[in-house]
Copies of this chain bind each other. A is one copy, B any other.
Amino acid sequence: MQSHLDQPAIGVDLGGTNIVCAAVMAEARIIEKHKRPTEVPKGVEQVVANIKQCIHEVLRKAHLSLEQISGIGIGSPGPLNTRTGIVINPANLHGWHNVPLRKMIEDEFHVPVVLDNDANAAAYGEKWAGAGKGVDNLVVFTLGTGVGGGIIMDGKLLHGPDDTAGEVGHCTIDYNGYQCKCGNRGCLETYVSATGIVRRTIEAIRQGRDTIINKMVEGDLNRLTSKIVYEALEQGDALACEIFEETGRLLGVGIANIVNTLNPEMIVISGGVIQAGEHLFRPTREEVRRRAFEEPTRTAKIVPAQLGGDAGVIGAAGILVQHLTLKTPTQKNHG
């Protein structure tokens, strides 16, 4: 049993644009990685064929036979069902409806396969091998185009009966606030996602704020991205600095809610925005101290993610390893 779990696992990060597969050692080190386009417009069968090809390719590059791996963990866009292994109808896997992805991969490779959503996989990666290594109660906030996350309690991902738990970006921080894509108003996501950062920057510029950002986008605010705001920050632009300060404070409101509700040991923040370092983390921590109860605030370390873009593949492999570890020995007879 121990030798079995010491075998490498394959992690799959299925995205709307690319598929990334990696062979990951039990101690969470990537041996080999392979990436290829997802090709969503070509249809479900082609995407699944691409996943299989990507797994075969990483096995080939790592000189691994199927007998030498413990299994395959897949992180996919949700909604999905972790128990049945079915991907329901993700917005960025257009055309997918109730695809039995786990079974399709099991039928090809005949090894244990687990399926979880991409945000959970990335969160579990940080727990298994990144900022949260050794920590059993943590919450990950992933700031990108939207704001996702994952909740790990007692070392395990919190899924909920519908596998929808962990949507920390869709907590209201102002019930009269901005309209969110999800239909709600004032979600944390509307403030601190890349979209939220751009919107707040444009609002400030339209109010007449002086900034080098105007020049950087050559006067065309439609070209503004959160990356440009970050570049302006690096050049010492006062508005960009304020925008990141405000982002940190608003993120702190959302984190304070989680600190008061769940009393986690750690909050991990991931996404490109963490490049801003203390410009983001200082106001975030200050706001949490200002808002949440003292004791859980002292406990909850607020730290940047460590795995970057690899969190998803590493975490997918990690979920497979945990799944095998938690299973009874009699069921661990694959490979």
Check if B153 sits within 8 Å of A137, measured CB to CB.
no
Identity of the chain B residue whose Cβ is nearest the Cβ of A253 in the assembled complex: B175
Check if A262 sits within 8 Å of B170, measured CB to CB.
no
Q: Does A326 contact B (CB under 8 A)?
A: no
CA distance A166 to B258 in the complex (A): 10
A74-92 contacts to B (CB < 8 Å): 79
Check if B296 sits within 8 Å of A164, measured CB to CB.
yes
Which B residues are in CB contact (< 8 Å) with A173? Answer: 172-175
CA distance A164 to B151 in the complex (A): 17
CA distance A244 to B330 in the complex (A): 56
CA distance A175 to B288 in the complex (A): 12
* Count, chain A residues at interface, CB 8 A: 45
CA distance A290 to B183 in the complex (A): 7
Check if A262 sits within 8 Å of B175, measured CB to CB.
no
Identity of the chain B residue whose Cβ is nearest the Cβ of A176 in the assembled complex: B174
User: How far apart are A123's CB and chain B's nearest CB, in angstroms?
Assistant: 13
A244-276 contacts to B (CB < 8 Å): 250, 253, 256-258, 260-265
Report the stretch among A1-9, A18-26, A155-163 that lies at the interface. Answer: A155-163
28 contacts between A and B (CB under 8 A): A137-B160, A151-B261, A151-B262, A153-B153, A159-B263, A160-B263, A160-B264, A160-B299, A162-B263, A162-B296, A164-B293, A167-B293, A168-B260, A170-B260, A170-B292, A171-B171, A172-B257, A172-B291, A173-B173, A173-B175, A174-B174, A174-B175, A174-B176, A183-B291, A184-B256, A184-B292, A185-B291, A261-B261
Q: Which residues of A come within 8 Å of B, CB atoms? A: 79, 137, 151, 153, 158-168, 170-176, 182-186, 250, 253, 256-258, 260-265, 290-293, 295-296, 299
Given contact pairs A158-B262, A165-B263, a sample of 17 additional A-B residue pairs in the complex whose CB atoms are under 8 Å apart: A158-B263, A161-B265, A161-B299, A162-B295, A162-B296, A164-B296, A167-B261, A171-B171, A171-B257, A172-B257, A173-B173, A174-B174, A175-B250, A182-B293, A183-B290, A185-B291, A257-B257
